[in-house]
Protein backbone atom coordinates (compact mmCIF):
# COMPACT_ATOMS: atom_id res chain seq x y z
CA UNK A 1 0.00 0.00 0.00
CA UNK A 2 1.15 3.51 -0.74
CA UNK A 3 2.18 5.45 2.39
CA UNK A 4 1.36 8.78 0.71
CA UNK A 5 -2.25 7.70 0.29
CA UNK A 6 -2.60 6.98 4.00
CA UNK A 7 -1.29 10.44 4.98
CA UNK A 8 -3.78 12.35 2.81
CA UNK A 9 -6.81 13.90 4.50
CA UNK A 10 -10.04 11.97 4.01
CA UNK A 11 -11.48 14.70 1.76
CA UNK A 12 -8.67 14.31 -0.77
CA UNK A 13 -9.19 10.56 -1.00
CA UNK A 14 -12.84 11.02 -1.95
CA UNK A 15 -12.33 13.66 -4.65
CA UNK A 16 -12.86 12.17 -8.15
CA UNK A 17 -10.11 12.52 -10.71
CA UNK A 18 -12.27 12.20 -13.82
CA UNK A 19 -14.38 14.95 -15.30
CA UNK A 20 -17.60 13.48 -16.67
CA UNK A 21 -19.21 16.65 -17.97
CA UNK A 22 -17.79 16.10 -21.45
CA UNK A 23 -18.41 12.35 -21.64
CA UNK A 24 -20.61 10.96 -24.41
CA UNK A 25 -23.17 9.81 -21.85
CA UNK A 26 -23.45 13.25 -20.26
CA UNK A 27 -26.47 14.04 -22.46
CA UNK A 28 -28.52 10.91 -21.94
CA UNK A 29 -31.21 10.31 -24.53
CA UNK A 30 -32.73 7.26 -22.84
CA UNK A 31 -32.03 4.53 -20.29
CA UNK A 32 -32.57 0.82 -20.92
CA UNK A 33 -35.30 -0.58 -18.68
CA UNK A 34 -33.74 -3.72 -17.23
CA UNK A 35 -30.00 -2.97 -17.26
CA UNK A 36 -30.27 0.80 -16.63
CA UNK A 37 -27.58 1.39 -19.26
CA UNK A 38 -27.57 4.98 -20.51
CA UNK A 39 -27.87 5.62 -24.25
CA UNK A 40 -26.31 8.90 -25.44
CA UNK A 41 -27.86 11.05 -28.14
CA UNK A 42 -26.70 10.75 -31.76
CA UNK A 43 -24.96 14.12 -31.42
CA UNK A 44 -22.94 12.94 -28.41
CA UNK A 45 -21.94 9.71 -30.17
CA UNK A 46 -20.72 11.79 -33.13
CA UNK A 47 -18.81 14.13 -30.81
CA UNK A 48 -17.16 11.17 -29.07
CA UNK A 49 -16.14 9.60 -32.40
CA UNK A 50 -14.77 12.92 -33.62
CA UNK A 51 -12.71 13.30 -30.43
CA UNK A 52 -11.34 9.75 -30.69
CA UNK A 53 -10.46 10.19 -34.37
CA UNK A 54 -8.63 13.46 -33.73
CA UNK A 55 -6.68 12.09 -30.74
CA UNK A 56 -5.39 8.85 -32.24
CA UNK A 57 -1.67 8.28 -32.10
Q: How many domains does the chain have?
A: 1
Is residue 3 in a domain?
Answer: no
**Residue 31 sits in which domain range?**
20-57
Tens digits of per-residue pLDDT, 6-51?
Answer: 666 666 666 666 666 666 666 888 889 999 888 888 988 898 899 8
| pLDDT(53) > 70 | yes
pLDDT of amino acid 33: 92
Model confidence band, residue 3 (pLDDT cutoffs 50, 70, 90): low
Model confidence band, residue 57 (pLDDT cutoffs 50, 70, 90): low
Is residue 14 in a domain?
Answer: no
Distance CA 15, CA 33 (A): 30
Torsion angle (degrees, nearest 10) of CA 26, 30, 32, 37: 0
Amino acid sequence: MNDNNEKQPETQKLRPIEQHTTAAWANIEKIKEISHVTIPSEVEVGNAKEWVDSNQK
